[in-house]
Amino acid sequence: MFERIVLSIALAAGLAQAQERKTRIDVENYAIDVDINQRTQSLSAKAAVRFTPLDDNTTSVPFELNNALNVSKVVDQQNSPLQASRSQQDFTINLNFSPPLVKGKPVTITFYYDGRLSGQEDSPVYGIKFAAIQNDYAYLMYPARWFPISGYSTDRYSAEINVSVAKGFKALGSGVDTAQSSADKTTYNFKFERASFPGSIAVVKDAPATRVSSEGVTTALYFRPAEQPMTNAYGQETGKIVTHFTGLFGLAPYANLTIVETEAAAPNGYSAPGLLFLNPRAIGQEVNTKLLGNQI
């Protein structure tokens, strides 16, 4: 029995060390261009990642990426191709570097990839839809690994994300946003300069949000017709909860919030910087105060 315990401890320690070795980079910034095609329920993207190696002689770096997305190439700062291998089992793509990366010297690599995300694909979190592109709406949350991620939920970063959608639709995201229209598409630019976890995107019909002011807080809500009667109640409660937390913790980093409806198989709630996602079943016929407070 003693030997088994010792062996178990040794295996656990080895696994912890291996995981630590896998995440020995500091991701600093993303520059992402993504085109969302709701007709084909697909996306195509280019993601430039700037990171700094934290160890000497780094020869390989893993990133997590949704299995439904196919990587066509990965290139370095000189636009030279990098050797990459894919593991479907743990949603990773491993990049090999020769010569090794220098500790403390920033590196930028760029992923080119595309794929279909209808919501029926295997999710990185079993049984929960964190991404789905539908004809009349779409959502791409950070846990879906719809862009290459290192240090999931631990390594904060800044980002600039350009999201192109068909005319008649609007993209929502974290940060300062601007929009530029062409003949058949609108590209939304989101700049998020502080270190956090931006990168969750929603696509809604291009109609004005329902804006509710409460306790000095203005909340923009994008609920579909069945849940539309609940917008005012959720907006009112959001203002009260933000004010309550402000009294406890000080000023919030985001003065106003945006709340967007997802779908039944998505998580009940998910919070990104300044942007909350709520499942229609969780929205319900009366305000789910506990869920809303938890997400805020």
Predicted pLDDT of residue 122: 86
Digit-by-digit pLDDT tens for the chain (296 residues) are: 444 443 443 444 443 444 444 548 999 999 999 999 999 999 999 999 999 999 999 999 999 999 999 999 999 999 999 999 999 899 999 999 999 999 999 999 999 999 999 999 888 888 899 999 999 999 999 999 999 999 999 999 999 999 999 999 999 999 989 999 988 999 999 999 999 999 999 999 998 999 999 999 999 999 999 999 999 999 999 999 999 999 999 998 887 999 999 999 999 999 999 999 999 999 999 999 999 999 99
Give the pLDDT score at 127: 84
Name the one residue in this structure whose structure tokens are 């050797």. 83
Residues of the chain with CATH 3.30.2010.30: 210-295
Residue 165, C-beta contacts closer than 8 angstroms, at least 6 positions apart: 36, 38, 171, 185, 186, 188, 203
User: Strand (E) positions, 167-243?
Assistant: 169-172, 176-181, 185-196, 201-205, 210-214, 217-222
* Ranges of CATH 2.60.40.1730 domains, the chain: 21-205
Which CATH class name applies to 21-205?
A: mainly beta
Query: Is the CATH code 3.30.2010.30 the one for domain 210-295?
Result: yes
